[in-house]
């Protein structure tokens, strides 16, 4: 079989964090039946695919990103039959399903790790990354964990250290081992045969470490800060060229692409972090024999300022070549975009719509995070309400993941926003989100939700916005602007990144027609060239002809 189409190119993907989407059995935790219950709602958005964060069997030390059985659904999310039913229903609605595969590490409760740690000679002794201590008993090198402290933990039975890029409960798989690679491919086959449309590959930049275990050098503190972590994390002081982000990952992407190509119309989406996540993401999607898509932290880790936007696009376009990126402005690991952009409270709706229009008009596919279509700001949680080990470890300088993982608000008059009928949800529901609930916005033609539906639908009719080229324009504060073009049709896209009104003069080398269906907060004067923008206004202009 070969790939028959490129449905993923220009696709709009909706990320679901299942714990917080909808709880159907009353245990306070979202589940697979809850996702199926809301498929009609998701279909109404006009999305092309759903990415579901891990729902596999897990001790939940890192809320599913510590897998103990890759082929089993964790009981808190339902049963494998629930997934099969969800998949069939989604396909009936022409929605693709992408599942989140965590192949860089497992849970320490996985049977593979139990066997691996028994001794140095068992059948799975080399399935994880083990290393001897230095002569003084300290870890083999200076590598650090995302969660703070060394990336090595001592195991008394084996009398060796094992590598973990995250929690000590998440030992790193040895993807240099052909047996491990084969097992990963067999897991992929299990889900592909079921009919899933693709995989989101978690932390692909950590797949293969430096086999010589060399120390990471010190990062230049005058360089751009890393986008995938706060400066309060000591890992930010290292240039991670040996522990992760190595060129050895690329051959693995090529093997995975060749393997997945045996099934029709499947997609591989990789998460690329690191000091230069744009360059890394670009390297994973070059040509037609690596990943289909990758996403970086250039916008996820930024404040979405004018400088952030333009510098990220420049870095991407310099390195992307014929590759294809998947943009995102929010996900389950960062503060929600409406809060990061720093909009005044009375302009949060306008800021949410600006982020929507900007993200959906970049060159690439776009991944929106649950609740982004409602304009949800970051929930403010007290320390005692935190659940995430990363937030807890780095509190108070970093408290960004749990506040973006609170339950979806479905109805303003129901307990916990209609997320669950249990006494309490797994994480506290943030009451201010009720005012932005789906029920509240569903029939409001000027709601954030209505604008998302309209923009996504209109975007499908304009190839220039969906799959066209991009040319970043020089523009003065507070604007960013670019031209998208496909099939000799150009669209000029202009965004006021400021909470203050401002004016923009259109280029004089052409005539323009305002695309009113997707523009907001703008007015054109009699000259036809000067455009007045409201706070966070944005305008889309079709070229009628060049002068």
Sorting pLDDT into bands at 50, 70 and 90, what band is 53?
Answer: very high
Evaluate if residue 297 carries a pLDDT over 50: yes
Q: Which of 248-252, 390-394, 395-399 has the lowest mean pLDDT?
A: 395-399
Among 434, 459, 484, the domain-final residue is: 459
| Arithmetic mean of pLDDT, 37-47 | 98
C-alpha 487/C-alpha 468 separation (Å) is 8
The pLDDT of residue 546 is 58
Evaluate if residue 525 carries a pLDDT over 70: yes
Q: Residue 398: which CATH number?
A: 3.20.20.80
| Arithmetic mean of pLDDT, 2-30 | 91
202 assigned to active site: yes
The predicted-structure confidence for 435-468, as pLDDT tens digits, reads as follows 999 999 998 999 999 999 999 999 999 999 999 9
Domain shared by 399 and 484, yes or no: no
The predicted-structure confidence for 103-159, as pLDDT tens digits, reads as follows 999 999 999 999 999 999 999 999 999 999 999 999 999 999 998 899 999 999 999
Count the residues in the chain: 547
Report the Cα 76 to chain-centroid distance in Å: 23
- Alpha helix segments (H runs only) across 168-292: 178-194, 249-260, 277-284
- The pairing of strands 12-16 and 49-52 is parallel
The pLDDT of residue 398 is 66
CA separation (Å) from 498 to 31, 330, 534? Answer: 39, 20, 9
Evaluate if residue 503 carries a pLDDT over 70: yes
Among 459, 491, 511, the domain-final residue is: 459
Contact between 90 and 83 (Cβ < 8 Å): no
* Residue 146 C-beta-side C-alpha neighbours within 13 Å: 23
Domain shared by 350 and 381, yes or no: yes
Total domains in the chain come to: 2
The predicted-structure confidence for 201-217, as pLDDT tens digits, reads as follows 999 999 999 999 999 99
Does residue 186 fall inside a structural domain?
yes
Domain with 513, as residue range(s), is 469-546
Evaluate if residue 527 carries a pLDDT over 80: no
Domain shared by 324 and 359, yes or no: yes
Q: Which of 30-44, 174-188, 213-227 has the lowest mean pLDDT?
A: 213-227
The pLDDT of residue 275 is 86
The pLDDT of residue 2 is 39
Does residue 189 fall inside a structural domain?
yes
Domain shared by 378 and 505, yes or no: no
The pLDDT of residue 404 is 95
Sorting pLDDT into bands at 50, 70 and 90, what band is 545?
Answer: low
Does residue 210 fall inside a structural domain?
yes
The pLDDT of residue 438 is 98
The pLDDT of residue 347 is 98
| Arithmetic mean of pLDDT, 276-289 | 93
Contact between 512 and 477 (Cβ < 8 Å): no
Q: What percent of the chain has pLDDT over 90?
A: 87
| Active-site entry in 36, 48, 66, 202 | 202
Does residue 195 fall inside a structural domain?
yes
Of 17, 64, 397, which is closest to residue 233 (Cα–Cα)?
397
Domain shared by 259 and 385, yes or no: yes
| Arithmetic mean of pLDDT, 510-516 | 88
Does residue 146 fall inside a structural domain?
no
Domain shared by 448 and 516, yes or no: no
The pLDDT of residue 396 is 75
- The pairing of strands 96-101 and 198-201 is parallel
Evaluate if residue 498 carries a pLDDT over 80: yes
Among 437, 459, 481, the domain-final residue is: 459
Q: Residue 478: which CATH number?
A: 2.60.40.1180
Does residue 6 fall inside a structural domain?
no
Domain shared by 276 and 408, yes or no: yes
C-alpha 465/C-alpha 360 separation (Å) is 8
The pLDDT of residue 227 is 80
| Arithmetic mean of pLDDT, 410-430 | 96
Q: What is the mean pLDDT of the chain?
A: 95
Evaluate if residue 470 carries a pLDDT over 50: yes
The pLDDT of residue 509 is 78
Of 256, 32, 209, 26, which is closest to residue 104 (Cα–Cα)?
209
Domain shared by 296 and 262, yes or no: yes
- Between CA 51 and CA 98, with CA 81 as vertex, the angle to 5 degrees is 15
Residue 27 backbone phi and psi in degrees, to 5: -95, 5
Both tokens of 240, joined, read 């991670």
Sorting pLDDT into bands at 50, 70 and 90, what band is 423?
Answer: confident
Q: Which of 91-95, 246-250, 481-485, 522-526 has the lowest mean pLDDT?
A: 522-526
- Between CA 236 and CA 403, with CA 227 as vertex, the angle to 5 degrees is 100
Contact between 294 and 317 (Cβ < 8 Å): no
Domain shared by 203 and 321, yes or no: yes
Contact between 187 and 149 (Cβ < 8 Å): no
Both tokens of 262, joined, read 């045996």
Q: Which of 15-24, 387-396, 402-411 has the lowest mean pLDDT?
A: 387-396
C-alpha 209/C-alpha 162 separation (Å) is 13
C-alpha 226/C-alpha 425 separation (Å) is 33
| Arithmetic mean of pLDDT, 468-473 | 96
Of 173, 292, 275, 258, which is closest to residue 217 (Cα–Cα)?
275
| Active-site entry in 271, 276, 317, 402 | 271
Q: What residues contact 189, with CB distance under 8 A and at least 6 apart?
A: none
Residue 2 backbone phi and psi in degrees, to 5: -135, 165
C-alpha 76/C-alpha 547 separation (Å) is 62
Does residue 133 fall inside a structural domain?
no
Domain shared by 364 and 432, yes or no: yes
Beta bridge partners, 157, equal none
Domain shared by 454 and 490, yes or no: no
Q: What percent of the chain has pLDDT over 70?
A: 98
Does residue 81 fall inside a structural domain?
yes
Domain shared by 304 and 403, yes or no: yes
């Amino acid at each position: 079989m070969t790939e028959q189409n490129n449905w993923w190119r220009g696709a709009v993907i909706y990320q679901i964090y299942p714990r917080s989407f909808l709880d159907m059995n009353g245990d306070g935790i979202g589940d697979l039946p809850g996702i199926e219950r809301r498929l009609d709602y998701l279909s109404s958005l006009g999305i092309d695919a759903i990415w579901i964060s891990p729902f596999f069997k897990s001790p939940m030390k890192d809320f599913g990103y510590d897998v103990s059985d890759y082929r089993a659904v964790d009981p808190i999310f339902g049963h494998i039959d629930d997934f099969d039913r969800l998949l069939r229903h989604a396909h009936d609605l022409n929605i693709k399903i992408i599942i989140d595969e965590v192949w860089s590490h497992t849970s320490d409760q996985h049977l593979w790790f139990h066997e691996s740690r028994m001794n140095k000679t068992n059948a799975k002794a080399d399935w994880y990354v083990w290393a001897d201590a230095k002569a003084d008993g300290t870890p083999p090198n200076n590598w650090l964990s995302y969660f703070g402290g060394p990336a090595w933990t001592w195991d008394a039975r084996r009398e060796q250290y094992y590598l973990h890029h995250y929690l000590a409960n998440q030992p790193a798989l040895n993807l240099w081992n052909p047996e491990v690679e084969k097992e990963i491919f067999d897991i992929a086959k299990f889900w592909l045969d079921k009919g899933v449309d693709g995989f989101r590959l978690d932390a692909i930049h950590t797949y293969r470490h430096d086999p010589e275990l060399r120390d990471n050098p010190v990062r230049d503190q005058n360089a751009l800060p890393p986008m995938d972590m706060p400066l309060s994390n000591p890992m930010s002081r290292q240039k991670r060229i040996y522990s992760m982000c190595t060129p050895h990952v690329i051959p693995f992407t090529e093997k995975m692409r060749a393997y997945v190509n045996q099934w029709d119309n499947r997609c591989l989406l990789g998460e690329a972090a690191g000091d230069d996540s744009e360059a890394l993401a670009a390297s994973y999607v070059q040509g037609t024999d690596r990943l289909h898509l990758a996403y970086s932290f250039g916008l996820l880790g930024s404040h979405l300022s004018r400088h952030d936007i333009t510098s990220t696009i420049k870095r991407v376009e310099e390195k992307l070549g014929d590759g294809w990126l998947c943009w995102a402005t929010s996900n389950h690991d960062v503060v929600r975009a409406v809060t990061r952009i720093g909009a005044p409270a009375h302009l949060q709706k306008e800021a949410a719509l600006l982020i929507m229009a900007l993200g959906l008009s970049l060159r690439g596919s776009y991944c929106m995070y649950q609740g982004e279509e409602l304009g949800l700001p970051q929930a403010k949680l007290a320390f005692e309400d935190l659940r995430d080990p990363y937030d807890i470890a780095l509190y108070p300088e970093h408290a960004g993941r749990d506040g973006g993982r609170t339950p979806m608000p479905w109805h303003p008059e129901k307990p916990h926003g209609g997320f669950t009928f249990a006494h309490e949800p797994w994480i506290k529901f943030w009451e201010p989100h009720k005012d932005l609930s789906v029920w509240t916005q569903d029939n409001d033609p000027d709601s954030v939700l209505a604008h998302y539906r309209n923009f996504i639908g209109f975007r499908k009719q304009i190839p220039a916005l969906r799959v066209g080229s991009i040319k970043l324009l020089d523009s003065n504060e507070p604007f960013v602007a670019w031209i998208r073009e496909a099939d000799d049709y150009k669209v000029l896209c202009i965004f006021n990144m400021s909470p203050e009104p401002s004016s923009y003069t259109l280029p004089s080398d052409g005539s323009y027609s305002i695309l009113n269906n997707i523009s907001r907060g703008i007015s054109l004067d009699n000259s036809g060239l000067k455009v007045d923008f409201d706070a966070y206004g944005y305008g889309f202009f079709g070229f009628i002809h060049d002068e």
